[in-house]
Amino acid sequence: MRVLTLVLALVLGLPTLPARAEVPRVQTDISPVAALVAQVMGDLGRPGLLLDKGGDEHDMQLRPSQRRDLAAATLLIWVGPELTPGLDQARAAAQVQSLALLDDPRTLRQDYAEGGLNPHAWLDPANAAIWIDLIAACLQALDPDHAATYRANAAAAQARIVTLDAALAAKLAPLKRPFVTYHDAYGYFARHYNLPYRGGLAAGDAAPPGAAQIARLHQDAASGAIRCAFPEAQHDPALIDSLAEGTGLFVGPPLDPVGSMLDPGPDAYDLLLTGLATALLACATADMP
Ligand SMILES: [Zn+2]
């Protein structure tokens, strides 16, 4: 326990971690992280969620009331500055201690094809399992009085991930047609489930593509090197629609990689991944030559 406390003190950037009798007030960045934290906290409390419904993680900016919530929190649990640079500034200003999940050496990390760390790591359920343990260890260190509850909740959360993972693997098995998405967020999900993912039209930070990239995508769509394209909940589908015009590309339902359209709560992680799998499966079942 002493070693764990020291490790956590390093992770959190704290000189010491005083034992607290009260349940920590936790804030989170995005819905899937909030869901994992909510599962680990169980009936002890509910984490706050800072990304607004329909918000874009890469452009996240906090309102004054959210900055006050963050400053009043015991702990911020978030993916890290690579995903939400706007939140990184607010975190530093609020001087709140934090657990950046992507920074932990146990987290499975992946680079974008064009280079640079891809921060959409929650889309690999193996990372969700790793993060449940990190979250539980952190909460136990801050709130040792409830350590047994955090441990039991984490075990139940792990069992949910195992069930979810098996269901998704079976569901996604028929997806063999190569597809692209609006933004380059799905590398983790595609790697874990061995999907024929050909990347995003927009870059990883959702910045729009240039003319040369669009021309190449048109060529790939026309030649059949990509068969399906998926727009995204927070973004205009015009780019995907123009790509599909005259190329026979199947346009699937909008994806929501950050779960920003879901009601927050402990079920949001399962709902996000299941919804993603259901949407992507439209590429496998679409009636096309
Ligand atoms: Zn993103």
> Which tens digits make up the pLDDT trace of 151-172?
999 999 999 999 999 999 999 9
191: CA distance to ligand 1 center in Å?
Answer: 17
Q: Of 150, 128, 66, which Cα lies nearest the Cα of 271?
A: 128
200: CA distance to ligand 1 center in Å?
Answer: 10
Name the band, by pLDDT with cuts 50, 70 and 90, for residue 4.
very low
Mean pLDDT of 160-185: 96
58: CA distance to ligand 1 center in Å?
Answer: 6
| Range list for CATH 3.40.50.1980 in the chain | 2-169, 174-285
209: CA distance to ligand 1 center in Å?
Answer: 14
At residue 26, the 3 state secondary structure works out as: strand
Please give the pLDDT value at position 21: 61
Please give the pLDDT value at position 85: 95
121: CA distance to ligand 1 center in Å?
Answer: 10
Q: How far apart, in whole angstroms, are the C-alpha atoms of residue 75 and residue 214?
A: 42
Strand bridging mode 250-251 / 117-118: unpaired
Please give the pLDDT value at position 22: 87
Mean pLDDT of 17-27: 75
Strand bridging mode 26-28 / 179-183: unpaired
Q: How far apart, in whole angstroms, are the C-alpha atoms of residue 86 and residue 26?
A: 18
116: CA distance to ligand 1 center in Å?
Answer: 13
Please give the pLDDT value at position 90: 95
Residues whose CB is less than 8 angstroms from the CB of residue 166 and which lie 6 or more positions away in sequence, other chains included: none
Residue 15 has pLDDT above 60, yes or no: no
Q: Is 105 exposed, middle or buried (0-12, 13-18, 19+ CB in 10 A)?
A: exposed
Q: Which residue has the higher pLDDT, 118 or 9?
A: 118
Listed residues: CB within 5 A of ion ligand 1: 185
Write the CA distances from 105 to 69, 71, 88, 102, 188, integer angstroms.
29, 27, 20, 8, 16
Name the band, by pLDDT with cuts 50, 70 and 90, for residue 8.
low
Please give the pLDDT value at position 187: 96
Name the band, by pLDDT with cuts 50, 70 and 90, for residue 180.
very high
Q: What is the CATH number of domain 2-169?
A: 3.40.50.1980
Please give the pLDDT value at position 5: 44
Q: How far apart, in whole angstroms, are the C-alpha atoms of residue 108 and residue 183?
A: 20
Fold of the 174-285 domain: Rossmann fold (3.40.50)
